[in-house]
Amino acid sequence: MTLKPILLVEDNPDDEELTLRALRKNNIQNEVVIARDGPQALEHLFGADGAVGVGPAVVLLDLKLPKLDGIEVLRRIRADHRTRLTPVVILTSSREEQDLIAGYELGANSYIRKPVDFVQFSEAVRHLGLYWLIINEPPPV
């Protein structure tokens, strides 16, 4: 069985490395594709020619991104019938209540604030991987 990739949308190199370390530490074997801004995330999801390939198992989406913020990326994911059902977990350091509300209003599956402590962050990633990659039953393609 081929594992679907994880799309990590993260512009901060430290948070990217922290997430990758936490995934490795928890033996999550899925390939991780990195997008460092909103347009890169959309290009991965929709392709340069607009053709959707194999979608990710889950999108881990930061909100504070250059060029196109995470809320707009989420809006576009949910607006397209080809990606509407893709699981999206907002993984952000934002403490803004309006970000939390907007994320859920636009159809985020989960909203997680990044813990500062690596042990807490690693545990959060372990739970994410266990739920979204093993326990959750995704919709048929």
> What's the domain count of the chain?
1
Of all helices (H) and strands (E), which one includes residue 59? strand 58-61
For residue 86, being part of any structural domain is answered with yes
Cα 74 from Cα 9, distance rounded (Å): 11
Q: Minimum mean pLDDT among 70-79, 99-108, 111-120: which range?
A: 111-120
Domain with 113, as residue range(s), is: 6-134
For residue 100, being part of any structural domain is answered with yes
**Closest by Cα among 45, 100, 95 to 71:** 100
**CATH code where residue 109 lies:** 3.40.50.2300
Residue-wise pLDDT for 16-52, tens only, equals 998 998 898 888 999 999 999 999 999 999 987 666 6
Cα 63 from Cα 1, distance rounded (Å): 32
For residue 139, being part of any structural domain is answered with no
For residue 141, being part of any structural domain is answered with no
Q: What pLDDT does 51 receive?
A: 61
For residue 42, being part of any structural domain is answered with yes
Assigned token pair, 101:
């509300």
Cα 70 from Cα 131, distance rounded (Å): 22
For residue 1, being part of any structural domain is answered with no
For residue 94, being part of any structural domain is answered with yes
